[in-house]
Amino acid sequence: MRREKSTAGGGLRRSARRALLRPLRHLLSAVAAIGLVLGALIALPGVSQAAGSLPCDIYGAAGTPCVAAHSTTRALLSSYNGPLYQVTRASDGARADIGLLSAGGYANAAQQDTFCQNTTCRITKVYDQTSRHNDLTPGPAGTSGMGADRGADASEIAVTAGGHKVYGIWISPGVGYRYTGVASGVAVDGQPEGAYMVASGTHVGSDCCFDYGNAESTPADTGNGHMDAVSIATTCYFAPCTGSGPWIEADMENGMFQGDNGSNTANRGNNSPFVTAVLKNDGQTKYALKGGNSQSGALSTWWDGGLPTRAGYRPMHQEGGIILGTGGDNSNWNRGTFFEGVMVAGYPTDAAENAVQSNVVSVGYSGETDVPNGPQGTVTGPDGKCVDVAADDTGTNGTAVQLWDCQNWAEDQHWQHNADGSLSTIGRCLDIEGNGTANGAKVELWDCNGVGGQKWVQQADGSLLNPQSGRCLDSPSGATANGTRLQIWDCNGSAAQKFKLS
């Protein structure tokens, strides 16, 4: 059944897991950073990006170089001209790297559209744009009890950046990415670091964990201070909290910290469609959290002070893994939408972070970020309920297909009507148990295999016909309660068989 999982107890706890020259260098670094800020502040949204002005250029010039840079929308350093991400086609398992329209520019979404035409694709790798090759792939199972992650549907969420169509990464329960092991250059054992991501402030939840940043080298909770990841969620882990979020938080393992020692009522949250979420941590005594609207304005500083005094956080014990969309122990129950993010070595200056925010604003991100808007659409049935897969976006072979209240963010309520007549969601097809044809045969989710039990044709009277059986998709006795398991039955034109493809 589709419901929010409690964040009390185990859910987040498991996861939610040279001396003379030095002043001169510091002075020069500060001057350079101020120059970067002034240059960024006069930037205007447009379809191109100036060389030397992208986030990793800015951080590098300020003495805190990027050690990881991930995005499906654009280059994050001006010299980059490689692939952003890899997609894998469901129809034949073929793979393609999706690159840029030009060096230092925006993603070539048309390349993905052509490759994935008439089938579905998953994002199976997110390339690191630095020279360190800290690429992310779907994560392995962890000690949270969840299975291995799947890659995101590549066409689930399209937005505009720099005047171009681009795709984000739609994170649903069961979707997530990881660099397992110690990533090159990423902070370990109390070293300073910083990170930011651009994510949705509207496609969010309270479950564990929509994180980006430093995590355990293996998918297991190894204790307080072993993570240092930025998060945006509606998780009030340490009460009291101000408002209902979502808040920019620091997942430092076994707690989502809004500032101070956990609770921080000065953190008022960020709920714009695109949010810049910033975290930095010196690894020893202090950390800071900032948030801003990625479409306009400056960053707000929600916390700039001491690390938690709870045991294990002074100093930090980072392990140098990287996660995206999950917790450190692979807790992958939350949801979110990711567009770009970097991790840097060292403790970034405020000037550099302000310049990065100005660059992000200059991109001109636009579009809805809380509704899947690819080739999928909803299938509504009796009483306006949606055709839904049990198990909250994580359905495997044999999972029941049912009626449920429509939720705009639910990936498994968005179906693609494919050229072969099948209806697919979360990588599988609407199927009849045992490829059956008898009245009352239940429908389920199953790997798309082209059998007759996976063909569905919209009829003029509003029904969905399965040609092999000659019967229609049906709600038993016209029931409309959440969780009603769907079946096939003789076509009779009743309200129980009215299913509309959007």
Q: Would you please indicate which residues are annotated as catalytic (active-site) residues?
A: 253, 329
Question: In terms of C-beta density within 10 A (0-12 exposed, 13-18 middle, 19 or more buried), how is residue 317 classed?
Answer: buried
Q: Are 344 and 196 in contact (CB under 8 A)?
A: no
SS3 for 402?
A: strand
CA separation for the pair 186, 188 (Å, rounded): 7
Beta-bridge mates of residue 213: 229, 323
Q: Nearest Cα to 91, choosing from 125, 115, 123?
A: 115
Give the CA-trace dihedral at 340, 343, 344, 350, to 10 degrees. 60
Q: Nearest Cα to 178, choosing from 24, 90, 282, 70?
A: 70
Bridge pairing between strands 247-251 and 256-257: antiparallel
> 53: Cβ–Cβ under 8 A, 6 or more apart, which residues?
36, 39, 40, 43, 78, 359
Handedness of CA 333, 335, 337, 342 (dihedral sign): negative
Structure tokens that stand for 147 in this block: 């299975």
CA separation for the pair 6, 14 (Å, rounded): 13
> 125: Cβ–Cβ under 8 A, 6 or more apart, which residues?
85, 86, 135, 136, 137
CA separation for the pair 314, 171 (Å, rounded): 32
Q: Are 474 and 495 in contact (CB under 8 A)?
A: no
CA separation for the pair 350, 253 (Å, rounded): 25
CA separation for the pair 287, 43 (Å, rounded): 29
Q: Nearest Cα to 71, choosing from 337, 347, 367?
A: 337
CA separation for the pair 242, 268 (Å, rounded): 6
